[in-house]
Amino acid sequence: MAKKKAPKKENNFSEELRMRLPVLKFIGGFIIFTVVFYLITNADWFESVRTPLVGIYSTLASVVLNIFGYGTSAVGSVLRSADFSVNIKEGCDAVIPTVLFITAVLVFPTSWNHKLKGILIGVPLLFAVNLLRIITLYLTGLYQPDLFDFMHVEFWQVLFIVFTVLLFIRWLKGTNPIQTA
């Protein structure tokens, strides 16, 4: 008695491509949006956005610190007191992680309503975490100046990246991906 062989499923290139198309679209869209946003955020005119943004951060940080009696003031991007000052510069404004979060949300195949919710919740959360970052860096510089560089470069940069990725993953858990052919 001869055994019948199960029919072979053909895994040709077009079938593999069709199966991977949603992932390829996401990666391609992410790369394209990232390049576009990179060009925008590095254009000279973007300073007219960045300058007020860092001013808002320094002002809000000063308000929060003054609630706790630190006697700080904010002038432009500088948060200062008689004992310590910090200058909020490009890279400390959370623009790049925010842009990457928005980009990932925009290119993911889900409803525009869900994308809008993700952006309207995610961007303020990233703003709040960056404000907390600025406040803790000021306090670190004030009380533990020898730890300032570690906190600024190693601790908070890594933590902010991890928070941004986790925020995106959390947003993903609530999505209903749109099936693409």
Question: Cα-flanking dihedrals φ and ψ of residue 91, to 5°?
Answer: 100, -25
The answer to the question of residue 161 being in a domain is yes
The answer to the question of residue 94 being in a domain is yes
The pLDDT confidence band at residue 153, using thresholds 50, 70 and 90, is very high
Count of C-beta atoms within a 10 Å radius of residue 110: 16
What would the pLDDT profile of 9-38 be if each residue is shown by its tens digit?
555 777 776 777 777 788 888 899 889 888
Q: For the chain, how many structural domains are there in total?
A: 1
pTM of the model: 0.82
Q: Going by DSSP bridges, is the β-strand pair 73-75/78-80 parallel, antiparallel, or unpaired?
A: antiparallel
- Per the structure, the complete domain to which residue 114 belongs is given by 18-173
The answer to the question of residue 1 being in a domain is no
Give the mean pLDDT of 99-105: 93
The answer to the question of residue 181 being in a domain is no
Q: Does the pLDDT value for residue 110 go beyond 80?
A: yes
The answer to the question of residue 179 being in a domain is no
The answer to the question of residue 142 being in a domain is yes
